[in-house]
Amino acid sequence: MRFVKQVVLNVSVVVLGSVVDYGAHLMSPLFSVPPHYLPNKIMVGSLIVVVAFYLGRRFIRAPDRLALFVCAVVAILLQIRYFLEGYNLFFVLSFLFLHFLMFLLPAHLIYRKYSQLI
């Protein structure tokens, strides 16, 4: 049951961060993305966040540091994927930092609140 709770918490980080990301993409036509972007990001991001969480948890016990590690891994791997898919470099580099922050806020809050599950 603990495993299921950890997975749900980590997927929640991706979903909440993706909602913020969706709003950022609506702000300018320069940052528009195709309709499959958000659901695909949630699926791939969920897989990455769970793997990063379990790898990071082996070495990092502090919730804040674990959130930093997990969000960095997710942001970097997602941006590498988008670059390989053909998004322009300006878009990829702009959203590397933004994705990190978008995931960090919910991760920080969730990991601190549920630190007994970490």
Q: Convert the pLDDT of each residue in 28-61 to its tens digit.
A: 887 778 888 888 999 999 999 999 999 999 999 9
Higher pLDDT, 10 or 28: 10
With vertex at residue 69, the alpha carbon angle to CA 1 and CA 30, rounded to the nearest 5 degrees, is: 110
- Per the structure, how many domains does the chain have? 1
- Residue tagged 């980590």 (tokens): 10
Assign 85 to helix, strand or coil.
coil
What pLDDT does 81 receive? 93
Q: What pLDDT, on a 0 to 100 scale, did the predictor assign at position 18?
A: 93
Q: Domain range holding 94?
A: 2-117
Which residues, 6 or more positions from 14, have their beta carbon under 8 angstroms from its beta carbon? Answer: 41, 42, 45, 46, 49, 74, 103
Q: For 112, how many CA atoms within 13 A lie in the half-sphere containing its CB?
A: 9
